[in-house]
Each structure stands twice: as C-alpha cells, then as structure tokens.
C-alpha cells in the first residue's frame, strides 16, 4: 500500500510542478510536460513489479502507438481557443477527438500488425 501511495504522490508532484512551471513560463512548462516522465516512471514501476521483458516490450511499443492519436489534441485545443471557444468546451472537444482516435487506433491498428 505504501508503494502505491508513493507512486501516486510522485506522479502528483510532477503534475503540480508542470503547472507551476507553466504559470511562469508557458513554453518551458510545455517542454517539461512533453517529456515522457510519466511513461518512464510507469516503465520503471512495471519493471520493478514484474521484471518481465516481453510485457515491458509490449507496454513500451503500445505506448508509442497510443501517443500518436493523442497528438492532434494539442493542435485542436489551441485552434479552438484562438477562435473564441471557451477553455472547457475546447478541452472537451480535444478529449473527444483523442478518444475517437484511440478507438480508431484500436480498431485499425491490429489489421496492420500493430499489437496493442
């Protein structure tokens, strides 16, 4: 249980740090947010918990394929904000787009040999 609390606390600290950095410098905050810190921590914790090479390789590869459908969100949200849409509707639209693209990736990916 302590291990779970430690993982959650560390992840929360990273998110809080990113928001504080972005408040002072949006560009630098974006740089820190774009770092795959959570993915790396997830890999470290998965490795620590399982030491399973096959599981780790599958996890890392699937992470790559799931990052791709999330990328358009980072173009759609600023475009909607600049066109006058409020933050929450723009965020919702970006999230809906990402969910749709995730579903498409899960449906189409295996047809092309992508293991998710």
pLDDT by residue for the chain (116 residues), tens only, comes to 898 999 889 889 999 999 999 999 999 999 998 989 889 999 999 999 999 999 999 999 999 999 999 999 999 999 999 999 999 999 999 999 999 999 999 999 999 999 88
d(CA 84, CA 76): 13
- Residue 62's alpha-carbon distances to 15, 21, 68, in angstroms, are 23, 29, 10
d(CA 76, CA 90): 8
Does 84 map to a domain? yes
Does 86 map to a domain? yes
Does 112 map to a domain? yes
Give me the pLDDT at residue 67, please.
95
- Report CA torsion sign: 40, 78, 92, 26: positive
Does 41 map to a domain? no
Q: What is the distance in angstroms between the CA of the first residue and the CA of the last residue of the chain? A: 29
Give me the pLDDT at residue 116, please.
86
- Residue 19's alpha-carbon distances to 4, 31, 35, 53, 99, in angstroms, are 23, 12, 14, 34, 24
Does 23 map to a domain? no
Does 29 map to a domain? no
d(CA 3, CA 39): 17
User: Containing domain of residue 91, as a range?
Assistant: 52-116
Tally the domains of the chain: 1
Does 15 map to a domain? no
- Residue 63's alpha-carbon distances to 69, 88, 100, in angstroms, are 11, 27, 17
* pTM assigned to the model: 0.80
């Amino acid at each position: 249980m302590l291990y779970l609390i430690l993982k959650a606390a560390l992840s929360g600290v990273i998110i809080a740090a990113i928001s504080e950095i972005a408040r002072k410098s949006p560009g630098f905050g974006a740089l820190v947010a774009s770092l795959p810190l959570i993915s790396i921590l997830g890999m470290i914790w998965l490795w620590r918990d399982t030491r399973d090479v096959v599981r780790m390789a599958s996890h890392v590869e699937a992470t790559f394929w799931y990052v791709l459908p999330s990328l358009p969100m980072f173009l759609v949200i600023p475009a909607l904000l600049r066109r006058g849409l409020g933050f929450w509707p723009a965020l919702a639209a970006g999230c809906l787009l990402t969910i749709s693209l995730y579903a498409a990736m899960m449906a189409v990916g295996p047809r092309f040999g992508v293991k998710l």
